[in-house]
Amino acid sequence: MSAAAATSAKAGAAPSGELLLRCRGLVVGYGGEGLLPPLDLELRRGTLVGVLGRNGSGKSTWFKTLLGLLRPVAGRVERSAPGLRMAYVPQSAGLDAILPLSARDVVAQGRLTGTSFLRPWASAEDRRVVAGALEAVGVAGLARRRFRDLSKGQQQRVLFARMLATRADLALLDEPTAAMDVEGEHEAVAELARLAHGEGMAVVLVTHALELAERNCDELIVFDRPARRVVHGPSAEVAGGEVYRRLRGELA
Amino acid sequence: MTPAAAPTWDDFVVAWELFRDPILCAFAAGAVLGMLSVYVVLRRMVFVSAAVTQSAALGVAAAFYAEIHLGLAFDPVFGAAAAALGATLLLLFDPKKLGVSRESVLGWVFAATGAATVVLGSRITQEAHDIESILFGTAVLVRPLDLTLVLAVGAAVLLLQLALHRGLVFASFDPVAARVQRLPVTALQSAVLLAIGIMVGVSARALGALPVFAFSTMPALTALLLGAGVRAAFVVAAVIGALSGVLGYLCAFFWDLPVGGAQAGLACGFALAALVARSLYRLASWAARERRREAAPGGDARA
């Protein structure tokens, strides 16, 4: 399946969730130079999308462009509404562990948008949402613990709670399971699937755990930079294709 | 010849009018710089504080030099503030585009301003005592203008901190997520750097570079060693900074010590005491755990 064919594959899947974000002829890259061919795809509410590819394949560049941190080389990213709420979840290992923040402090960051931080204290509504988010991902008991003292799996769950607290329509997660053991990885991806389907978010997940993504994600996007191809479609369809099989062989 | 009698509390009370302004200045500068030290330490900007403080000292030396040799009279406090602010603005520039790290720019600022201060100082020997005061904080008295500036800038920085601290902590912890949630991350980071620069500038003229550097680093270290969370760290660091300023002045009075050295030494002493307290607490916690383990049924019976 080629990049041009990606749109038709997606159309074939007939996704039913509300359209949140659409890439139209989107070319991502640096300094005016595109890394990949133009990409057309849609992200819809209630879906878990896995983004796969080797290191340096352009996944992070695409992510940064969707998040509005990089300008597209060509094409555009269309949001369904100007007020579309987005959340970003990094690898917990990439965060600054020297800050003595509690798990609750980290989740409360999800309530900050624009200049809302100018209010020195959290509102009662914010506190309620934060407590609910901690409860929803099963880390309410860790609320007062220092974030840096938690295990990698617990830290990632706290970051998932922060994502929930943003009340985001669309969440983008950059290799959130990278530092976890296999069991933790399984739990985290299952949790994300539950959040996407249960909370009605669109969750886009960059991962190297191919089989987990194939099993849990509704859709897959595979970046194949050497061949300058991007394949996108329902998981079963993409997983049956040549690009995915080759990637699995390379990452094995 | 009999040695002079050591000063007493009565002497201090009698001369309170003389000591009031420097103590108030040390209290305010210590508290505000102590609060800012949390950002300095947590954002790994200790060398920023050193470079900005050194620049403030150069500003004072340059003001004396300009007055004596060039006939340009302007108050050294404005020289200190301008130089500190200039250094801060230079440090806002991201040198990664030039392929060098921020640390290398900091090193340049520190070395260049230090060298320039020494060179200018050698040309203004009649003001050598003032230069020494600026560098090491040997000044016993504080001028009304310096006190006014420290109080005014300190109050403004305090209000800024109250308004921005939630955004600043988020932007420090996870700048990408903060940007995605549309927080003005660059503006926040610039605001805290400028606040540090201007506060260091006005405080350095009043108290001296050495105690100002100590106040802008040691109180946060003390608070973090005591295990404070982020919010508590701001309060504890402000208290430690204020205590270092006031008690340092009292120590200098009663034991005839240089004021700046006493204040900086006390700030370092608080950090050392916190380290000892933390080590003892950990040791006691470990011992208690061991006792519980041995007392538990089926516990380790090595003993």
On whether any CB of chain A is under 8 Å from the CB of B180, the answer is yes
Taking CB atoms and an 8 Å cutoff, what residues of chain B touch A105? Answer: 169, 229-230
Regarding whether A71 and A8 lie in a shared domain, the answer is yes
Q: Helix (H) and strand (E) counts for chain A?
A: 9, 11
Count of domains observed in chain B: 1
pLDDT of residue B161 exceeding 60: yes
Identify whether residues A189 and A74 lie together within a single domain: yes
pLDDT at B3 over 70: no
Contacts of A31 (CB under 8 A, 6+ apart): none
Give the domain CATH number at B276. Answer: 1.10.3470.10
**Which residue among A67, A69, A117 places its CB closest to the CB of B170?**
A117
Q: What percent of chain B has pLDDT over 90?
A: 54
- Asked, for residue B113, whether it belongs to a domain, the answer is yes
Contacts of B223 in chain A (CB under 8 A): none
Query: What would the pLDDT profile of A222-237 be if each residue is shown by its tens digit?
Result: 998 888 889 999 999 9
Buried b (16+ CB within 10 A) or exposed e, B41-50: bbbebbbbbb
Q: Name residue, tokens 């500190």.
A: B84
pLDDT of amino acid B169:
93
From A184-193, B173-182, B267-276, the region with the lowest mean pLDDT: A184-193
Segment B266-278 mean pLDDT: 97
Same domain, A62 and A181: yes
**DSSP H helices in B208-229:** 209-215, 218-225
**Is there a contact between B230 and A105 if contact means CB atoms under 8 Å apart?**
yes
Angstrom distance (rounded) from CA B153 to CA B159: 10
- Residue A87 sits at the chain B interface (C-beta within 8 Å): yes
Residues of chain A contacting residue B229, judged by C-beta atoms under 8 Å apart: 100-102, 105, 146
Tell whether A145 and A180 lie within a shared domain.
no
- A81 vs B282, higher pLDDT: B282
Does residue B282 belong to the interface with chain A, where contact is any CB pair within 8 Å? Answer: no
Whether residue A90 and residue B182 make contact (CB cut-off 8 A), yes or no, is no
Using CA atoms, how far apart are residues B220 and B207, in angstroms rounded to an integer?
19
Is B47 among the domain residues?
yes
Question: Could you give the count of Cα atoms lying within 13 Å of B182 in the half-sphere of its Cβ?
Answer: 12
Residue B43: helix, strand or coil by DSSP? coil
Rounded distance, CA A51 to CA A202, Å?
A: 13
> Residue A120 is nearest to which of B163, B170, B184, comparing CB atoms?
B163
Q: What is the pLDDT confidence band of residue A50, given thresholds at 50, 70 and 90?
A: very high
Tell me, yes or no, whether A245 and A182 share the same domain: yes
Q: Is residue A136 part of a domain?
A: yes
DSSP class of residue A102?
B
- Residue B248: pLDDT band (50, 70, 90) is very high
A95 lies in a domain? no
Q: How much is the pLDDT for A6? A: 41
Domain count within chain A: 2
Q: Is residue B97 part of a domain?
A: yes
With an 8 Å Cβ cutoff, is A31 touching chain B? no
Q: Is residue B226 part of a domain?
A: yes
Percent of chain A's residues with pLDDT above 70: 93
Helix, strand, or coil (residue A21): strand
Residue A178 has pLDDT above 80, yes or no: no
Band (pLDDT 50/70/90 cuts) for residue A133 is: very high
Residue B46 inside a domain? The answer is: yes
Q: Rounded CA gap, A185 and A207, in Å? A: 10
**Boundary-marking domain end, from A144, A168, A192:** A168
* Domain identity same for A162 and A200: no
Domain assignment of residue A110, yes or no: yes
Predicted confidence (pLDDT) per residue in B189-247, tens digit: 999 999 999 999 899 888 888 999 999 999 999 999 999 999 999 999 999 999 999 99
pLDDT of residue A5: 39
- Asked if A100 and B173 come within 8 Å (Cβ–Cβ), the reply is no
CB contact under 8 A, A90 and B174: yes
Answer yes or no: is B45 within a domain: yes
Contacts of B227 in chain A (CB under 8 A): 100
Decide if B97 touches A, using CB distance below 8 A: no
The two three-digit tokens of residue B179, written as one number: 């940007």
pLDDT tens-digit series, residues B29-69: 999 999 999 999 988 888 888 899 889 889 988 988 898 88
| In a domain? residue B291 | no
Assess if residue B303 is contained within a domain: no
pLDDT at A7 (0 to 100):
36
Residue A93 lies in a domain: no
Q: pLDDT value at position B162?
A: 92
* B228 Cβ under 8 Å from any chain A Cβ: yes
Decide if B166 and A106 are in contact by the 8 Å CB cutoff. no
Q: Which two tokens stand for residue B186?
A: 């660059």
Half-sphere exposure of B55 (CA within 13 A, CB side): 30
Higher pLDDT, B265 or B103: B265
Are residues A118 and A7 part of one domain?
A: no
Q: Same domain for A29 and A55? A: yes
Span B125-152, pLDDT tens digits:
766 666 666 666 666 678 889 899 999 9
Task: Confirm whether A210 is domain-assigned.
Answer: yes
Q: In 3-state terms, what secondary structure has residue A25?
A: strand
- Interchain proximity B173–A88, CB inside 8 Å: no
Beta bridge partners of A171: A87, A203
Distance (Å) from the C-alpha of residue A158 to the closest C-alpha of chain B? 14
A94 in a domain, yes or no? no
Residues A74 and A104 in one domain: no
Provide the 8-state DSSP code for B3: P
- Check residue A79 and report its DSSP letter: E
- Residue A221 has a pLDDT of 95
Contacts of B109 (CB under 8 A, 6+ apart): B51, B54, B55, B87, B90, B91
Do A153 and A180 share a domain, yes or no?
Answer: no
The per-residue pLDDT for B128 is 65
Whether residue A50 is contained in a domain is answered as yes
Q: Can you give the pLDDT at residue B29?
A: 96
Q: Which of A152, A168, A184 is the last residue of a domain?
A: A168
Report if residue A89 sits inside a domain. no
Q: Both A119 and A150 in a single domain?
A: yes
Our measurement of the distance from residue B227's CA atom to the centroid of its chain's CA atoms, rounded to an integer in Å, reads 20
Looking at the structure, do residues A229 and A195 belong to the same domain, yes or no? yes
Position B2 confidence tier, pLDDT thresholds 50, 70, 90: low
Q: Which of A124, A142, A168 is where one domain is finished? A: A168
Give the CA dihedral B94, B97, B102, B105, nearest 10 degrees: -100
What size, in residues, is chain A? 252
Domain that holds residue B153: 10-281
User: How many whole angstroms separate alpha carbon A128 and alpha carbon B253?
Assistant: 53
What is this model's ipTM? Answer: 0.85
Range of the domain at A110: 100-168
